[in-house]
Chain A
Amino acid sequence: MRLEIYQIVVPIISAIFIWGLASRFRRSRASMQEVVVGSLFWLAVAVFALFPDFFSRKIARLFGIKSNINAIIFFCLGLIFFFQYKLFFMIKKQQMALTNLTRKIALEQQPDKEVEA
């Protein structure tokens, strides 16, 4: 496989950007959304630069479709990731609510407070 110059430069640039995002995050300079979205974007850019033909061919063959279906597939993948993220977030919220409720009950029942009331 012959490497074009861009196939080397683009991944390096991506790596630099991701590193920059990570270190900005560590110093609390960047929000998380920024870091995750940014990193995913740069990662995707790097991977596509490295294997431009590979992905489209593989995916088309996998689904037995020759036409340019990539966009649809990646859209679906994106959707799945989005819902996965939403679900995880919702579960965390529920867990937190449950813990807060548990804590409230525990603290209301503890003896010292009952005596006071």
Chain B
Amino acid sequence: MIPAKDIAVMIPAYNEGPMIGEVVTHVRTCGYKNIIVVDDGSRDNTRKQALDAGARVISHPINRGAGAASQTGLHYARQQGFPYVIQLDADGQHHPEDMETLIAKMAEGRWDIVIGSRFIQMSEGIPQRRIAYNRVSNLLTNWFCRGSYSDSQSGFRMLNRRAIEKLNLGLDGFGYCSEMIVVGERIGLSIGEAAIKVSYTEYSMSKGQDLHMGITTAVNLIWKLIFHQTH
């Protein structure tokens, strides 16, 4: 098994003040002490809440997007020499208990990245529109991939040192979810999936993505994948 001290739990957060403290605390009660919150230029008290809950906080002075925040977290984990990173969302949608599932999958030793998929065992209560949005995103992502992935947009992932060291993602926004998969494949990382659950609370829905952002994300992704062949 992989010891908890080898794992950095990395949580990108943007204006998640009302929720971040709870999420960090929940992760701690699961036995993980290395918690890194990447505060992505939040205008609320995200930073303070995260610090008070016992996380290390890295702060972007200005907002750069979920992808930029995630990559900053990976950079930090690289600097600190963590063998594993688990990333999860700051809005309380993910269940920290599911980290065990990812860890078990990673412990098989075959994967460099394990993606927590909401769709292996259809997680209850996902709004119809989100399901449709994710289908389209999967189609688009899988078109660029050798493998076929059931939840290309999941923000719940585990990476081993090889992935942490090799990945240099360039997309600032939500396109990084797909980018990590496509680029990961291209640089020879093997990617597996494990089933997770997800909650769509009123809080998380109020911040969810919309069609406009979806289209922007798709355009950025296609642009990146097409005009920057490598890395």
Residues of A at under 8 Å CB distance from B? 25-26, 28, 31-32, 35-36, 88-89, 92, 95-96, 98-99, 102-103, 105-107, 109-113
Contact = CB atoms under 8 A, between A and B. Distances in A.
B61 A105 contact: yes
Nearest to B71: A103
A50 to B, nearest CB: 27
B64 A107 contact: no
Interface in B180-231: 186, 223, 226-227, 229
Given A31-B229, A102-B68, A112-B80, A26 B172 contact: no
B153 interface: no
Contacts of B172: 95-96, 99
B75 interface: yes
Given A92-B223, A99-B68, A102-B68, A110 B58 contact: yes
Contacts of A103: 60, 64, 68, 71-72, 75
Contacts of A92: 223
Contacts of A36: 226
Contacts of A96: 170, 172
Contact of B143 (A26, A28, A99, A102): A26
Given A103-B68, A110-B76, A26 B144 contact: yes
B226 A111 contact: no
Contacts of A106: 38, 58-61, 72
B176 to A, nearest CB: 11
Interface in B60-76: 60-62, 64-65, 68, 71-72, 75-76
A107 B58 contact: yes
A106 B62 CA distance: 10
Contacts of B60: 102-103, 105-106
Interface string B139-151: 0000110000000
B52 to A, nearest CB: 15
Given A103-B68, A106-B72, A32 B59 contact: no
Contacts of B76: 107, 110
A96 B68 CA distance: 9
Contact of B62 (A88, A102, A111): A102
A111 B80 CA distance: 12
Contact of A102 (B61, B144, B170, B229): B61
Interface string B20-49: 000000000000000000100100000000
B75 A107 contact: yes
A32 B143 contact: no
A107 B79 contact: yes
B56 interface: yes
A61 to B, nearest CB: 34
B149 to A, nearest CB: 16
23 contacts: A28-B186, A32-B227, A96-B172, A98-B64, A99-B64, A99-B65, A99-B172, A102-B61, A102-B64, A102-B68, A103-B68, A103-B72, A105-B60, A105-B61, A106-B59, A106-B60, A106-B61, A107-B72, A109-B58, A110-B56, A110-B57, A111-B56, A113-B79
